[in-house]
Structure 1
Amino acid sequence: MNFYKFWEFYFHLPVFLRLLLTVSITMLLFGATIHLIEPQHFPNLFDGIWWAFVTGSTVGYGDYVPLSTWGKVIAILLILAGGGVVTFYMATISASTIKHEQNLSKGSINYKGKNHIVFVGWNERTKQLLDMITKRNLGEQIVLIDKTLNQLPYQKHYIHFVRGDATEDEVLSKANIQEAKYVVITSDPSKKERQADQTSILTTVAMRGNNPNLYIIAEILTKEQLTNATRAGADTIIRSNDFMSTLFFNELFRDASVKPFDLLLEVLSSQQFNQIKLSKEMEGYTFLECSDHYVAIEKLLIGIIREDELMLNPPFDTILKNGDLLIILSRL
């Protein structure tokens, strides 16, 4: 009965462990046998096991050699049996490694990490965002969910690819969304704007349902769907159409030589906007006095949020009050 349990346990082990256990038992048996047959040439059990591994792997250092007839018979059996086992073990490891790498590229392997960033959709925006993260060596672990790609080479992009629809719980589970930190949902460029927004909202609902603490950044194209995206659970909504329309307007009707699009790209690539609560010490100060305070520590105060109203570059004599949020521009 004990033997049956061991046999059942053995065949329930992963193939790597089964082969490793088989090799170990085989070498242990041959090592013990040669030690018992020729104790004068193999004075202890470890010497016998060492000889078995060296011979079975066809390395053959020659530091231990059987001299008796029975010892040579054992060596022949070891070469025939043990050598095949070791060779099969190494071939299985190589084949499994290649298969695992192929499965990674095809997006069929579950992600096991935590506190990672999930990208939804493989497009030009995702590629540029990934390049920015990589260039700054932020060390973030990235998981991509996309249903249009057939494969994504892991070595080239160093991100974990999960192929499938981001609205399905099974796919989200593969991306380990329950342990993710952020998710960026980009709009599908292959769909019409309204359809793309509906897909983004449905994805937001699925994400929020699987992880209530997840910070969700969603791209929405039409104004009509902004409220729905907020209701669905998006923490930040990127209104890409409004943003681009504003840039086009400024480019069309600018008077100065500075190009607003190029300038904004430069600012966003080297600076970061931060929203901080006004400290008790700064209450009652003017906007100018507070601005001077932040300039001294190499930060730029550009506006305040008061009662949900954004005030960019307010009058210098504006008195700051309790509850104000400061909009700060600082270096990355």
Structure 2
Amino acid sequence: MLFWRKAFEKMFKMSNITLLYFTLSFFFISPIIIHILEPEKFSTYIKGLWWVIVTTTTVGYGDYFPETTPGMIFGTIVIFTGLFLIGTLIAKISERFIKWIKMKEEGKMDYRGEDHYVIIGWSDDKIKDTIKEMLNSDSVHNIVLIADLPSSPIDHSQIHYIQGEPTEYETLDRANVAKSKAVIIFSPQGVPAKYADGQTLLIATTIESYGEKVNRHIYTIAEILKENHLMNFRHAKVDELILSQQSISYLIAHASVHKGSSKLFMNLLSTESGEKIYVINKKKEWITYNDAFEDIKAMGALLIADHDDTSIIRRPNAIIPEQAKLFIIADEDTFQKISEGYVIIS
């Protein structure tokens, strides 16, 4: 028993290349040996190979088997060698699979996909809810989460966790930030607002310099806590800044004056409601905003803005620029009638 245990341990310690060569040699040579020992029973190489495979995998169909003493002795060798080979291969495959799962859970595995979203930071409420909304809105593109946690805080097939410091290029490389659709920087939890916005600014400037390094514009969305810190982000080239604390304050104040308005905002922001905010490009036949407004309205949707300009409703005869980004409110079926490709904003 000790002999077989030591034999298995030595085989398990073999390098993958050595084990592969040994296995291929075993399956190549064994059919030749059994053919030499019993040429009438195993008249072709294929019959010998079939017997070796069936024997080593312990299937044992019984259609071919050795009948002479030398053949039986060799068959015994094939059985035990096959058991060790197959056992070692299964053990090594299981070991690599377990190691792969462990590395993935601990955020040590690089992400090589493209057109994904990158989220920086973690909290059990705000960021978790954001991810849930994003997955409901977009079931195609993956999300890469960068955080400094011992293991992935969320288990989902579309989420890939990267453990690391977002102010280091190595971490951004591992998350393949250069080929992402957008990077979302959340304000760190449990940090005073004046310091939290400073950390967010440091991450944003790191992403900006990283984008220059890889010669790519990286669309960046950042959450900040204090409105008076907006000027500090002026040179960071952040595409969108979201004032989280002020947004809640504005929503509550607006709801108290215009009762019921908060329900409208929440419906537009939630993926569970029928209507969502989408962005579409200008169509060739739309010359003025009124052309687009009437066409979109006829299909059951509402044009509300071009980029962040909501005053277009008062300028119906203004010419729509070619680089226009038109925001509409519509349900998914109506939107599909308007545009083939789309981006869900809320």
TM range (shorter): 0.7 to 0.9
Distance apart, 1:120 and its partner CA: 0.9
Q: Which string of whole-angstrom CA distances, capped at 9 and with x for unpartnered residues, describes residues 58-87 of structure 1?
A: 222222211122212211222232321211
CA contact (8 A) 1:219 1:238 kept: yes
Structure 2 residue aligned with 1:272: 277
Decide which of 319, 323, 327 is 1:322's aligned counterpart. Answer: 319
Structure 2 residue aligned with 1:23: 23
Mapped partners of 1:172, 1:143: distance in 2: 11
Corresponding letter in the other structure for 1:231 = H
Mapped partners of 2:228, 2:22: distance in 1: 65
**Matches of residues 1-332 of structure 1 in structure 2 within 5 Å?**
18-123=18-123, 124-136=125-137, 138-147=139-148, 149-152=149-152, 155-156=155-156, 158-211=158-211, 212-254=216-258, 256=259, 258=260, 260-269=261-270, 270-274=275-279, 281-283=286-288, 291-303=293-305, 310-311=310-311, 314=314, 318-322=315-319, 327-332=327-332
Distance apart, 1:104 and its partner CA: 0.8
CA contact (8 A) 2:120 2:145 kept: yes
For the residue of structure 1 that corresponds to 2:235, the secondary structure is helix
CA contact (8 A) 2:164 2:171 kept: yes
Structure 1 residues 77 and 290, CA gap change in structure 2 (3 angstroms): closer
Structure 1 residues 86 and 239, CA gap change in structure 2 (3 angstroms): same
The number of residue pairs the alignment matches comes to 307
For the residue of structure 2 that corresponds to 1:67, the secondary structure is coil
Q: Which string of whole-angstrom CA distances, capped at 9 and with x for unpartnered residues, describes residues 30-75 of structure 1?
A: 1221122212111221221222222222222222211122212211
Structure 1 residues 79 and 304, CA gap change in structure 2 (3 angstroms): closer
Structure 1 residues 122 and 76, CA gap change in structure 2 (3 angstroms): same
CA contact (8 A) 1:144 1:159 kept: yes
Structure 1 residue aligned with 2:335: none
Mapped partners of 1:200, 1:116: distance in 2: 21
Structure 1 residues 232 and 23, CA gap change in structure 2 (3 angstroms): same
- With normalisation by structure 1, the TM-score equals 0.81
Mapped partners of 1:153, 1:23: distance in 2: 41
- Structure 2: segments with no counterpart, 5+ residues: 1-13, 333-346
Structure 1 residues 231 and 330, CA gap change in structure 2 (3 angstroms): farther
- With normalisation by structure 2, the TM-score equals 0.78
Percent identity between the two aligned chains: 28
Mapped partners of 1:177, 1:162: distance in 2: 11
- Structure 1: segments with no counterpart, 5+ residues: 1-13
Mapped partners of 1:290, 1:27: distance in 2: 70
For the residue of structure 2 that corresponds to 1:311, the secondary structure is helix
CA contact (8 A) 1:115 1:181 kept: yes
Identify the range of structure 1 (232-241 vs 138-147) with the bigger mean alpha-carbon deviation. 232-241
